[in-house]
Chains A and B, each alone.
Chain A
Amino acid sequence: MKKEKTSLLKNSAVQSILASLLCILLGLLLGYIVLLFINPTGAWDAISTVMKNFFTYPSRPAAMKYFGSTLVKTAPLLMCALSIQFAYKVGLFNIGAAGQYVAGAGACLYAALAWHMPWWVCLILAAVAGAALGALSGLLKSYCNVNEVISGIMLNWIALYSANLLLTGVKEPASPYTNVVANFNSSALLPSLGMGKLFTDNQYVTIAIPLSVLVAIAVWVVLGKTKFGYELRATGYNKDAARYCGMNEKRNIILTLVIGGALAGVGAAFMYLSGYEQWQCTQSSVPAMGFNGIAATFLGGLDPIGTIFASYFIQHITSGGAYVDKTMYCSQISDLISSLIIYLCGFVLFFKYFMNSRIVRREERKSLKEKEKLTADSAAKTEEGGRK
């Protein structure tokens, strides 16, 4: 069969990228306007600092080091984004990813600090904890018809306080933070395989970074290329049709949230087993990682590969926000700017739809004109022929 030639703009991937870039630009613009309102003199500096992130360091080794740090935090974000995306493709909105992330954090830190387990056991336990929480949402959804958003949000809090409770047993005596993994059980730290050297001896750079990219590719393959992914997508798009053709839609829903939960749980392990952060046992809000995953997955055009870049970008501006001049702006400004951009990221699908309808309309007009011209031409020709 002849493949029809389509314009580049009609390509869905190209559209996604354009829409994402448009969202980023708008987000930056909005952020800039807000900064102008607060303090016009430093606005341009501030916004460019956010965008520069680690490039603010003049020396290359320092920049590389902090580039590494940005990557370290990108890996867990990517995992959370994939968790949400995986469920989204099956028609579920896994807002519980935030809680699954917390459950994973609790499990891996407790296993590392209380049981002195090696890193891979901690990693598996984190996945299991996230999966268990996901399974709970899934069971409620498929057997009691409880919306996964409701159960997810409530489980987020249950997970947070359970994790706080559990990890209080392994915290530093004088602070609310958990013990430093590197000091207490260095076998629980994710191996670096020498990658830290590439980033000016950044000890937090571990296999988490390549692993998360591999998981993204795996998600892409599973959803797009396998029978399992076909079933999950069919269930997500139309669960009545899935049932009609004999798929087990209840099992598919539970399995999806189990996998989503495991992805988020592993994300937490990527964060806390790198040693980059300690868990604060008194925190009273669910870590933003899971929620930022929502923005990352939409900015990535709901495509696992696109999400890799989107996750990086969101982490890039979040980290960049930390460098904003605190003498001119209050310390929350970095979060405000990045959340503005993240908020705008939610509009990707809207822009994509908008672009699409514009293009189609334009093409129609063009073909209409051509047709008119053609008929006019042929009319002229016949007239000419008649005269001859």
Chain B
Amino acid sequence: MEETYAVEMLNITKRFPGIIANDNITLQLKRGEIHALLGENGAGKSTLMSVLFGLYRPEEGTIRMNGKEVSIKNPNDANALGIGMVHQHFKLVECFTVLDNIIMGVEPCKHGFLQKAEARKKVVALSEKYGLMVDPDAYVRDITVGMQQRTEILKMLYRDNEILIFDEPTAVLTPQEIGELMEIMRNLAAEGKSILFISHKLNEIMAVANRCSVLRKGKYIGTVNIADTSREELSHMMVGRDVQFEVTKKPVEPGKVILQVENMTVASKLHQNKAVKNVSFQVRAGEIVCIAGIDGNGQTELVYGLTGLEPLESGRILLEEQDITRTSIRRRSAMGISHIPEDRQKHGLVLDFSLEDNLVLQRYFEPQFTGKGGFLKRRNIREYANHLIEQYDVRSGQGPVTAARSMSGGNQQKAIVAREIDKDPELLVAVQPTRGLDVGAIEYIHRQIVAERDAGKAVLLVSLELDEVMSVPDRILVMCEGEIVGEFDPKKTNVQELGLYMAGAKRGAEQA
């Protein structure tokens, strides 16, 4: 007997100039299953979902729903067919209530007036049915990220969507919230909803999915039953080789204090509150200190204050006993701070520049690259770029002259890592250095960071990924609402304990 699938994407091919983003990909989603879509960055997951959502038209291939061929020309068609999506970055209006956000776009109206009461009833009923526990009258700006995500889920349910796409939903959640989300997903599937779960986190896929389809470099690798597979097999399928999960490193030998932060307070751009409140810590030579926490708890501003992108409101920063509180960004960089920024496309790279121009972004003004009269020494830049490309294995279409924009996320990040590490810093500030990267690239970047530490540099790592927080650093500082609420030894703590501190449920107990 032939099984009918809720959604079938058959032989989808989507080309972009210079690249085949989806090469003959087939994805079949059964009704009531949680189907994971696994692949590294640039593997074509987003393109495939955009095709399903009507944002792109594929050159070849067909989409079938319940056995019937459908044509999805735009997101409205997708909505009409019952396809909903929780985007990685929520699409919510902060100053609206949860209810307002949910009915947005499908407002129930009578004679041009909103009929909210009915909608409210439906939302409350749905919220109870699936155990979402969302207050429909709360303002979105006041609720937690986890609640915002549930609002997004409710949005899909309110529209009676049967196909739910979750795009990297756990990136912004605490371990506790991740657990709850998985429970919600299971409930949804049990009620007959079909879920597509896009992720590159193998643990989560193993925990919640029924089946998993793997993409690699735009090609379809295969679909496996989760019950019959292992983390290792999945990662092998995703990367195409075996991957080492453990970070191997020598025992820590901290040297002198490189970075000393005293009572740092940084204003917030988003709200009246201070983003960083009276934070003090130090980083020594030869150790990796990790600032852990949920996104948006002041880590970004802490780093901005440290690197000079934002001024401090009060407090002091000492780099090797020199006060750099009011020093310019350029000077701090020259004094030995390297910064792998959180957002590689916003801060880290000039995407319209070539790779070589990006590789000298922090040192183009040095005499070896700028000659007398302010002319760039193009030959030296090319040589230096080639040297970095080779040493750090940065892959690109045309070598040093490749446009940075056309490179994959992993190689963009490698270029930044190469540039920042080759500056030979005293202090390496690495903010989410592996965000959005595949396991192969993560492994590589972790090795580079550990190598810096072993070379006697001080490393400050800011991370949201718990795997990374547990495996890379020598010391963990947990940040919550702008304060450091706890210090831990990664060998003596566990994810659950960290999660409680990250969520603000516990605080204060110094462990170090």
Contacts and interface: CB of A to CB of B under 8 A. Distances in A.
Nearest to B369: A227
23 contacts: A1-B399, A4-B398, A226-B375, A227-B364, A230-B357, A230-B376, A234-B357, A234-B361, A237-B350, A238-B351, A240-B346, A241-B349, A241-B350, A243-B347, A244-B307, A246-B308, A246-B329, A246-B362, A247-B330, A360-B17, A361-B15, A364-B15, A364-B20
A238 B17 contact: no
Given A228-B374, A241-B361, A364-B20, A246 B339 contact: no
B353 A234 contact: yes
Contacts of B331: 246
B365 interface: yes
A141 interface: no
Interface of A: 1, 4, 225-228, 230, 233-234, 237-238, 240-247, 356-357, 360-361, 364
A226 B330 CA distance: 19
A244 B375 contact: no
B386 interface: yes
Nearest to A222: B374
A356 B399 contact: no
Nearest to B373: A226
Nearest to A357: B17
A245 B333 contact: yes
A241 B347 contact: yes
B374 A244 contact: no
Interface of B: 15, 17-18, 20, 307-309, 328-333, 339, 341, 346-353, 357, 361-362, 364-365, 370, 373-376, 378, 386, 398-399
A245 B361 contact: yes
A361 B19 CA distance: 9
Given A226-B375, A237-B352, A237-B353, A245 B362 contact: yes
Contacts of A356: 17
Contacts of B346: 238, 240-241
Q: Is the interface of A mostly helix, strand, loop or mixed?
A: helix
B374 A1 contact: no
B15 A227 contact: no
Contact of B330 (A4, A246, A360): A246
A241 B358 CA distance: 10
For the complex of A and B, the 5 pairs showing the least CB-CB separation, nearest first, are A246-B330, A246-B329, A360-B17, A244-B347, A237-B352
A238 B350 contact: yes
Given A234-B361, A243-B309, A227 B347 contact: no
Most buried by A among B17, B331, B365: B17
A345 to B, nearest CB: 23
Given A225-B375, A241-B347, A244-B307, 16 more contacts: A1-B386, A226-B375, A228-B374, A230-B376, A234-B361, A237-B353, A238-B349, A241-B350, A243-B309, A244-B347, A245-B330, A245-B333, A246-B331, A246-B333, A247-B330, A361-B17
B130 to A, nearest CB: 40
By CB atoms of chain B within 10 A, which of A237, A242, A361 has the most?
A: A237
B248 to A, nearest CB: 32
Contacts of B351: 237-238
A314 B398 CA distance: 37
Nearest to B405: A237
A285 B398 CA distance: 50
Given A245-B333, A360-B17, A226 B399 contact: no
B348 A244 contact: yes
A79 to B, nearest CB: 23
Given A1-B399, A225-B376, A244 B17 contact: no
Candidate in A230, A242, A356 with the most chain B CB atoms within 10 angstroms: A230
Contacts of B339: 244
Given A241-B361, A244-B329, A226 B349 contact: no
A230 B371 CA distance: 13
A245 B419 CA distance: 11
Contacts of A230: 357, 364, 376
A166 B349 CA distance: 48
A230 B363 CA distance: 12
A131 to B, nearest CB: 20
Contacts of B398: 4
A226 B376 contact: yes
A247 B362 CA distance: 9
Nearest to B364: A230
A364 B328 CA distance: 48
A148 B377 CA distance: 33
A89 to B, nearest CB: 10
